[in-house]
Structure 1
Amino acid sequence: MSKRSLKERLEQGTVIVGEGYLFELERRGYLQAGSFVPEVALENPEALKQVYRDYMNAGSDVVLAFTYNAHREKMRIIGKEDLLEPLNRNAIKLAKEVAKEHPSEEALVAGNISNTNIFNPDDPASKEKVRSIFNEMVSWCKDEGVDYINGETYYYHEEALIALEEIKKYDLPAVITLGLMGENILRDGYTVEESCKILEENGALVVGMNCFRGPDTMQPYLEKIRKNTTGYVGALPLPYRTTEENPTFFNLPDGGCSCHLPTDTTFPTALDPLYHNRYELAEWAKEAHDSGINYIGLCCGASPAMLRAVAEAVGLETINSKYSPDMHKHFLFGKDETLQEHITEYRTKA
């Protein structure tokens, strides 16, 4: 089967997008929490390839090159600007290798540019620096032959628009998603639906939201975006139980925690008790799909098992669906007639 483009896949159905590499690689011990720079692309390439592979096998139609935070400003902070271009190029090369492993149709490979954390709407010099950062990253993506660019986690509308403009210079399809903080409005005064409408009108193939918020506090805004746009909408929430009182994961409390936390909040390394389970995430995926969203995934904190549940919830079979839960033969909760009754009777007492 020939490799379909992102647009072709969207026209024909739902596209599943696996993200969350940042937290997953930190959990696996290959990335430092705090700076969160993806040096793994150079230091432990096989570990990165395995994460790419795990998310693809769990249902992702896209291998997203892990260059989130791999921009000039982040590399400056850790004193490794000389590794900037090699890191970006190698992350894409590794993604392309894994994408070719897909047994039925080669996965898409997406380049990745993200929030720079230096954009200042009142400082023209910062805007030009941001534009330069995006331009060089997109140029490497073009050189390496990605299928499209994923620009994500923008909490300023204007920074997102600059990202889109730089992507369009290289004639690549663009997915632009916004990160909405607790103010419930982008930091330069736009609502997410206003921003997405403008981004769509300026040529983004997919617009939407990612990160910062779990399903419960993202879905209401996704529905506003869906009503305010005519094209494709993307939704990639966190797998954490954010609430109206705490709509993002930056200040989520854990009432059961009695230990000292490095940041005096559960973010970013003590969020474990605050996960949605995979069945809750599957229910959200159905809701998002039914509301007209068909670029669907999960962001920071997501595991491959969670992504598989999301994919299956919208009617897709993944490479690793053969490993999806089946309690039929479980020694306590199974229904198989060959199980020993003197053991299964303990299921209510265990």
Structure 2
Amino acid sequence: MKRSLEERLKDGPVIVGEGYLFELERRGYLQAGSFVPEVALENPEALKQTYRDYMNSGSDVVLAFTYNAHREKMRIIGKEDLLEPLNRRAIQLAKEVAKEHPKEEALVAGNISNTNIFDSEDPESKEKVRNIFREMVRWCKEEGVDYIQGETFYYHEEALIALEEIRNQGLPAVITLGLMGENILRDGYTVEDSCRILAEEGALVVGMNCFRGPDSMQPYLEKVRKEVDGYVAGVPLPYRTTEEHPTFFNLPDSGCRCHLPLETTFPTALDPLYHNRYELAEWAENAHRIGINYIGLCCGASPAMLRAVAEAVGQDTLNSKYSPDMEKHFLFGKDETLNENNTNYRGKA
């Protein structure tokens, strides 16, 4: 029998591969802007391959791609009739891929996320949000997920509603917050206070994901780690956010020489602003050292980046055999049989 999420957390860090949203847009199967995961129905093999690529690169979890696949988003694009089929199919595909793992079947996580309609002053909006989560969680339960990850909440109370609905179905919950540029959740909670309350209310794992890269997320992860007794998640973006520009929504590119049609690098011109895999591995080592237990990367992450993160915390991934080895490179290799005319030229290349 495969180990549960809690059993794996007790044995060491759990790696979670996210970032499907940007990766599938980059591969040509998803529209930037609306960012709705119709790929589960339109191109299921593309989604399965993406799941597989992240799993083989170290993810202990196949996270069902239902981010933004909620009733409000489907209403905006006029496809509410596809809501339930999309959710169920995304989970079914995740289960198929999870069974392919040759060492231990990967966990399958359901996924619910920020609704963008939550209003802390409007009881009606709160009820709409609860109903959105309730139906998605029920589908997750019926499809047999191992746990549910509720993510990218920038209101504490919305995160709490998500947790309540997950707990009502008797499933383990991972709840992660997206911290905007004000450095505080929109209903006034600090991220560490919110995480402490969510843990006290029964979340197995609490922490942060998305919006921020390692540099602008790590100080808050340290605060959460000090405040929370249980398991803590850190799932940053792979972008070079800063104290001045803490999120990727307004991250500038001083070297850009063209007109950006959206007048911002987000979401389709962030390419020059990546951390490299070695910087991300260094972050993962630091996160692991301070006691972050549930470690991954979010929007923008590639499988190669995730592999570097997994290896940095001691994991040997299925695709570690493809990790960089320059020994036989024609310019930079050290193999004695290489052509010396090339290796002697490396400094001039």
**Shorter-chain TM-score category?**
over 0.9
Give the AA of the match of 1:209: M
1:179 aligns with 2:178: yes
Cα RMSD after superposing both structures: 0.4
Give the AA of the match of 2:295: I
Query: Counterpart of 1:249?
Result: 248
1:104 aligns with 2:99: no
Query: What do residues 55-91 of structure 1 show as CA deviations (whole Å, max 9, x unaligned)?
Result: 0000000000000000000000000000000000000
Query: What do residues 84-132 of structure 1 show as CA deviations (whole Å, max 9, x unaligned)?
Result: 0000000000000000000000000000000000000010000000000
Query: What do residues 133-188 of structure 1 show as CA deviations (whole Å, max 9, x unaligned)?
Result: 00000000000000000000000000000000000000000000000000000000
| 2:308 match: secondary structure | helix
Segments ≥4 residues shifted beyond 3 Å? none
Q: For 2:286 and 2:69, how far apart are their aligned partners in 1? A: 33
Query: Counterpart of 1:74?
Result: 73
Q: For 1:114 and 1:263, how far apart are their aligned partners in 2? A: 25
Alignment of 1:271-310 (within 5 A): 271-310=270-309
Query: Which stretches in structure 1 are left out of the alignment for 5+ residues?
Result: none
Q: For 1:53 and 1:181, how far apart are their aligned partners in 2? A: 31
Query: Counterpart of 2:153?
Result: 154
197-206 vs 338-347, greater mean Cα deviation = 338-347
Query: What do residues 252-305 of structure 1 show as CA deviations (whole Å, max 9, x unaligned)?
Result: 000111222122110000000000000000000000000001100000000000
Q: For 1:164 and 1:151, how far apart are their aligned partners in 2? A: 7
| 1:30 match: secondary structure | coil
Query: Counterpart of 1:226?
Result: 225
Alignment of 1:327-346 (within 5 A): 327-346=326-345
Q: TM-score, normalised by structure 1?
A: 0.99
| 1:305 match: secondary structure | helix
Q: TM-score, normalised by structure 2?
A: 1.00
Q: For 2:30 and 2:72, how far apart are their aligned partners in 1? A: 18
Q: For 1:5 and 1:79, how far apart are their aligned partners in 2? A: 38
Query: Counterpart of 1:46?
Result: 45
1:333 Cα deviation (Å)?
0.5
Q: For 1:13 and 1:56, how far apart are their aligned partners in 2? A: 17
| 1:346 match: secondary structure | coil
1:122 aligns with 2:125: no
Q: For 1:243 and 1:271, how far apart are their aligned partners in 2? A: 14
| 2:15 match: secondary structure | strand
Query: Counterpart of 2:24?
Result: 25
Give the AA of the match of 1:194: D
Give the AA of the match of 2:288: H
Q: For 1:262 and 1:77, how far apart are their aligned partners in 2? A: 22
| 2:272 match: secondary structure | helix
Give the AA of the match of 1:347: R
